[in-house]
Amino acid sequence: MADSAGAADFGTPAARARIVSRISPRYRGEMHFLGLLTEVALLMGVALWLVRDVRPWEWLLVPAALVFGNGVEWLVHRGPLHHPWPPRLPYNRHTLTHHAAFSDRDMAVASWRELRIVLFPLYALPLLEVMVLPVFALVWWTLGRNAAGLFAFASVLYYLIYELLHLAYHLPAHHPVSRLRVVGWLKRHHQRHHDPREMTAGNFNVSIPLFDWLLGTRLRDAEDQGAQRASADAASDATHTIS
């Protein structure tokens, strides 16, 4: 499905129609979403099973893991999701499928079937947990079982936040979730990333743009640039007035 997404109609309704038409007729977006919630609940349950009599300082592993997750999100999104590095599966599924189907001009899903090209496949979460297993082991070895359990819990929580927010950005504008102010602000950040001309330039954080801000990859929109110019002009006027 991904390899056939041509550059000529990248990000157009024709590209989306072709991609959606090749989704298996057996696919059900409702079951995909339910599967996501189920695997998250199971992995969170296993992580909490490790935790016993938490000491106050151990709770710090939760925000630490959330920040770690934000960094991993930025790194993976900037790297294999937008570069055809072997194996090409992440690039094919993300750039040549998700971005080919949804441009910044048309972000909203039209049906449950289109969740197939918004949500990660169900094997992605277990795979990511395997990838961060060395970090989990290091936390257990250095800080103990409780810290490792809380780290694992928060890492799965972050994945859920990512998936839910990403889905929220791709809901129709009339959906109640889309009308939430915080969702609207975060959606604009992500929508800029869906501009085919800028998708490899910045806004790699999909959830919270922390690492985009820290690493200078947050793309400024027209309002930000206008405000910045107005501030600079005001400062210049003040300088001339004082002088």
The two tokens of residue 115 are 């969740």
The two tokens of residue 6 are 């041509």
pLDDT digits (tens, 9 = 90+) for 120-176: 999 999 999 999 999 999 999 999 999 999 999 999 999 999 999 999 999 999 999
Residue 9 included in any domain: no
Number of residues that this document lists for the chain? 243
Residue 170 included in any domain: yes
Confidence of residue 220 (pLDDT cuts 50, 70, 90): confident
- Contacts of residue 151, defined as CB under 8 A and 6 or more positions apart, other chains included, come to 61, 64, 65, 135, 136, 139
Range of the domain at 48: 29-242
> Cα–Cα distances in Å, from 176 out to 28, 57, 168, 183, 184?
23, 38, 10, 10, 11
Confidence of residue 236 (pLDDT cuts 50, 70, 90): very low
Domain count, the chain: 1
Query: CA 29, CA 167: separation in Å to the nearest integer?
Result: 12
Query: CA 131, CA 137: separation in Å to the nearest integer?
Result: 11
Residue 8 included in any domain: no
Residue 131 included in any domain: yes
Query: CA 113, CA 108: separation in Å to the nearest integer?
Result: 12
Residue 125 included in any domain: yes
Residue 40 included in any domain: yes
Residue 2 included in any domain: no
Residue 3 included in any domain: no
